[in-house]
A and B are shown apart, each in its own frame.
Chain A
Amino acid sequence: MLELDRLSRRYGDVVALDDLSFTVRPGQMYGFVGTNGAGKTTAMRIVLGVLEPDSGEVRWNGTPLDQAIRREFGYMPEERGLYPKMQVHEHLVYLARLHGVSGITAAKAASELLEALALSERASDRIESLSLGNQQRVQLAAALVHDPTVMVLDEPFSGLDPMGVDSMAAVLRARVDAGAAVVFSSHQLELVERLCDAVGIIRAGRLVADGTVDELRGTAAHRYRLEVGAPPGWTASLAAAVPGLSLVEDGDHTALVELPPSADDQTLLDAARALGPVRQFTPVRPTLAELFRSVVAEPAASPDGSEKAEAA
C-alpha cells in the first residue's frame, strides 16, 4: 500500500504541507479533496518525486519510494503536459517505453486505452489538433499506458463533459478492480462520493478527515428531520429536553435538528413524542459536500473526532 508519512513542505513562509499522512490500499480509489491551495498538488508532486518534501517520506509496501518503484506509478499532473506536435498513439507508446514497457506491448496498450476512451479515430492526429477535453483523455491514457500499480491523478475530471467523466471513471474503476491503487484530487464532490472507496479531506496542509464516506458521516454530527403535531414553539421545548441538540431549520411543524455524534437518537425520538404525535422522523445523511463544508469551516485546531486516521 501507498503510505504518505508525515509529509511537510513549505515555500518560504507559506506552509504547503504540515505533517500530512494517509494511506491508499491496492484495490482502493481514494478521493483527495480540499480547498484550492490546501496542498493537494504539492502532496501529489512529492509522491511522484517531482518535488522533495522538507521532512517525511512516502512508502510503497513499506519501502521508501525511489525511481525504480515510481516506474510502476502513473501520474497525471494538474498542469496538463504532452508534446503538442506528437501523434496521440506514438506519444503514448513513447511514455510507456520510458517506463520500460516493450514496444509491442506499449503499442497494444495504447490502442486499447484509446479504444476505451473513445479516441481510436484520433490515434494518428497530433495532440495539438485535439479539443481540450480529448487532450485530457489522452493525458489520462498517458498516466495509464504502462499499466501502473499506483495512479496519482491531479484533477483528472475537471473540464470533462458527463460522457467524458463516465468513460474515464469506467477506465479507472476497471484498474482499481484489477488491484491498482488510485488516488485522485477533485472539487467535484458528488463524483468523489460516487466513485471513491475512501476520501481524505485536506485543509491548510493537514489532513482533517480520512475514511470511507460512511465513516466520515459517522464522525460528523447526525441530522434528523422531524414533523411533530404540536403547537408552534415545540422546537424550543425539544431543544431544552435534549442536551446538545441544535436547530438547523425551524418550521411550524417540521424541523431539521442536529445531534452530536455521541448522542442517542432514541432519546430525541422519546422527547419528540412527549411533545405530540411524531409524523416524521428521518435521519438525514449528509452528502460529502456537506461534510466537506463542515470540516473545512471548523477552526484549524479543532480537536474533534474528524482526525480519525484509519481507512478501515
Chain B
Amino acid sequence: MSRAVSFREAATLVAKREFGQRIRERSFFISLLITLGIIAVVVLLPRFSDFGSDSYDVALVGDSSSLEEAVSRQASIADDEVSVRLVPDVAEAEQAVRDGDIDAYVDGDTVVVDQSLDESLRAVLENAYSQVEGARALESAGIDPAEVTAALTSATLQTVTLDPDADEREARGAIAFFGTIVLFGQLITYSMWVAMGVVEEKSSRVVEVILATIPARALLAGKIIGIGLLGLVQLALIGGLGLVLASALGAVELSGPMIMPVVTALAWFVLGFAAYASLSAAAAARISRQEDLQNVTTPVNTLMMVSYFGAFYVFINQDSPVAGVLSIVPPFSALIMPLRMARGDAAGWEVGLAVGLMLALIAVLVVLGARVYEGAVLRMGAKVSLKDAWAARRRVSS
C-alpha cells in the first residue's frame, strides 16, 4: 500500500503532472506551429527580396552590340542579373524608363534613370562602358581588337580572405539573434505558465488538498521543473526544426558550428527560466485570482523586457563595453550572453563568470521565492504583502 514519499518523489510526481497535462493542451502545439511559421518567414524573406534587388533591365540606344556584350560579361562577373535589349529610338527608351519597364538606358556616354542608379548596376555599366571605350581607343591606336578584348577580360582580381569564418560567424550571430527572440518568447511564456499554474491552484483551492499531503516546496519545485522541461522540449523542437527548415530552404548549412548556438540557447533557457520562474511563482502565490496576475507579474516581465531590448542593443553594438557588461550581469545574461557566444565575441572567462553569477542569482531567488511562496500560497483572499509572506509560515486566515 502506501509508503513514505520523499521530497524528490513528490516533486517528480508534480513535475510529471505538469508536463503531461500541458503537453496535451492544444495551445502547446499551436504556439510551436506559430513559432515555426515565423522561422519559415524569416528564413524566406531575404530570398524573396534578393530577386528584386539584383536583377535589372537595361536598354541600349543605337547600335551598341559590343557594349551589350560587355554588359553581359560584367553582369556575370558581378553576379547580377542584367537583361539588355537594344532600342533604336531615345524617346522610346525614355518612355520605358518613365513607365518603370526598364531600370536605365544608355545613350552614348550617358546613363538615364528615373530616380537613382543602383550602385551595383552603376558598377556593371561603368565597367562595361570603360571596357568598350578603352578597346575602341586601343583599336584606333592600331592594336588588334581581339587581343585587346582578351587582355581586358582575363584581367580579374583574385580574392584572398583573411577572415574566412566571417560569413559563418555572421550566420551564427543571426541564428543566435533569432534564437534570442525565441528564447525571450519561451521565457516569458513559460514563466507566465508557472504563475498561472500557481494561481490556478490557489483559486481552485486544490492547493490545500495537495499541501495536506506534500510540502509546499515540493509542489513548487515540481511545478517549475515540469513546466521548464516542457519549455525546454519545445525550444529544442523549435531549434531543431528551425535549423532543418532553414537548411532545407538553403539559408544555412547544417553543421556543428550552426547547431552550437541552438544548444547554447537551450542551456541559457534553463538558467533564465530557473530565475524568472522562481520570481513568477513567488509573485503569483501572493494573489488568489487570475485577474490580479498582471499586477504582480509586471516587475518580472519588465525585467525580461529590459533584457530583451538589451539584446537588441548588443546585436547592433557588439563591441561596446555595455554589451560586455550586460552579457555577464544576471539575469540579463540569459538573453544576451547566448548572442555574444554565438558570434564568438565572448571570452571563456566572460562565459564562466556569467554562468557563475547566474547560478548564484538562481540560488538566491530559489531560496527567497520558495519562502515567499510557502508563506503566501495558503492565504486566500486579498493580495498578501511581501512582508507578511516573508514573516508568515503557514499562518493562514480561514
Contact = CB atoms under 8 A, between A and B. Distances in A.
Nearest to B3: A100
Contact of A98 (B13, B200, B204, B380): B13
Interface in B369-398: 378, 380, 393-398
A101 B13 CA distance: 12
A142 interface: yes
A24 to B, nearest CB: 17
Interface residues of A, number: 38
B378 to A, nearest CB: 6
Residue among B3, B209, B211 with max Cβ neighbours from chain A (10 Å): B209
Interface stretch (B77-85, B98-106, B212-220, B328-336): B212-220
Contacts of B201: 83
Contacts of B394: 49-52
A240 B281 CA distance: 73
A41 interface: yes
Interface residues of B, number: 33
B10 interface: yes
Contacts of B1: 101, 105, 147
A50 to B, nearest CB: 5
B4 A82 contact: no
B2 A146 contact: yes
Contact of B5 (A50, A51, A94, A99): A99
A16 B21 CA distance: 39
Interface string A29-70: 000000000000110010011111000000000000001101
Chain B contact residues: over half helix, strand or loop, or mixed? loop
Interface string B212-242: 1111000000000000000000000000000
Contacts of A95: 209-210, 213
A83 B211 contact: no
A82 B204 contact: yes
A178 to B, nearest CB: 13
Given A11-B398, A45-B396, A75 B209 contact: yes
Given A48-B212, A50-B378, A94 B205 contact: no
B380 to A, nearest CB: 8
Interface of B: 1-5, 9-10, 13-14, 17, 21, 200-201, 204-215, 378, 380, 393-398
14 contacts: A41-B398, A45-B398, A49-B212, A50-B212, A50-B394, A52-B394, A75-B209, A77-B212, A79-B208, A82-B209, A95-B209, A98-B5, A98-B13, A146-B2
